[in-house]
Amino acid sequence: MTPGADAGASDRLDRGMLPSATVGKFDAVTAGSALIGDASGLAVAPMPSLAAYAAALAYPAPAAAEGPFTEDAFFAAVRKGAADQAAPLGSAVTLKQTHTPAGIIAAMRAVSGQGAYVVAVIERKDTFTEKTANALTPSKAFTILSGKSVINKNAVLSTYEFVVFHIPASGKATVVAAAEQPHAASGT
């Protein structure tokens, strides 16, 4: 069993622009685009949109709820990646995945009436818990980050998920670009 395995990761690592995503126009370089001071003119404020998106990514999946965002290719890939990691573990190991907003890096308004673009970071924690006396063999990435080659009880792999989403003047926010980077691991 391999916690933090790259199952499905090739579908979601280094994603960049999502399929069929587009980025609208910004104000001219000479004028510059305004930063978002308040959410006036936007369908939803950036932080609540980011928080709802992050919460909806959890594994096991939370109860379906209408969020202020549309599900996108990154959303689907992260969900599929978690399910693909959990499937071979069976009942001997549990996987819990949490996604917590780590902050907004930048938020700029698009041209008048076209909403805004927000660059944000979400921290994902994949927690694997061994429920038997068996040991887990971690992935190469996990071993590099943690220095551990055997896991007896639990393992936590932390990954930054970088997302760029468009918040329109009305309607739902849409992620237009995303990438992820593992940054820490620990285990006992």
Residues 105-122 have pLDDT tens digits of 999 999 888 999 999 999
Q: Which domain holds residue 36?
A: 9-187
Q: Flag whether 2 is in a domain.
A: no
Residues 127-153 have pLDDT tens digits of 999 998 888 888 888 999 999 999 999
pTM metric for this prediction: 0.84
Q: Flag whether 1 is in a domain.
A: no
Domain count of the fold of the chain: 1
93-109: strand order across its sheet? 16-17, 174-187, 154-167, 116-130, 93-109
* Angle subtended at Cα 111 by Cα 109 and Cα 113, rounded to the nearest 5 degrees: 90
DSSP-assigned beta bridge partners for residue 158: 125, 184
pLDDT at 89: 87
CB-CB neighbours of 83 under 10 Å? 16
Q: Flag whether 54 is in a domain.
A: yes
